[in-house]
Amino acid sequence: MKIKFNRNKLSIIKEDTDKKYYSESLLWHDIKKKLQETGYDVIKRLMWKDGHMTDERNYYIRDRKWNYCIIDNDVYIRDMVNSFNDGLLSLYQIDWDAGVNNLTSCYEICIIDTEV
């Protein structure tokens, strides 16, 4: 698994040696581990446990100091595991320190771009 940051886009690229995933939780866990290996202090959480008004099954990755998070905004219309198993998965990072004036740009970057 390769991870690349391009501005607010986090691309997760499947390599030939990667295992096939069957669980979204395990995929989020391995993405978190890969980010921790590169020096990011992040945790994987269920969104509702952090007080967000979402379904009980939405995972996300955030840093421990609440500066940013990595989400899959299309969790209801596509299967993240199948997107990764097909080759490439792109998630977006939201910077919580952007301020109230940047809420529109935060909404715009939540669009997930999946390339196969």
What are the DSSP calls for 2-55, one per residue?
Answer: EEEEETTEEEEE--TTPPPP--HHHHHHHHHHHHHHTT--EEEEEGGGGT--S-
95's CB contacts (< 8 A; 6+ apart) are 8, 67, 68, 102, 106
Q: What is the residue extent of each domain of the chain?
A: 2-108
pLDDT in tens, the chain (116 residues): 888 877 677 788 888 898 999 999 999 999 999 999 988 899 998 877 777 766 677 888 888 887 888 888 777 777 888 888 887 677 767 666 554 344 333 333 333 333 43
pLDDT tens digit sequence for 44-73: 988 777 777 666 778 888 888 878 888 887
81's CB contacts (< 8 A; 6+ apart) are 21, 22, 23, 24, 27
| Residue 105 structure tokens | 């740009």
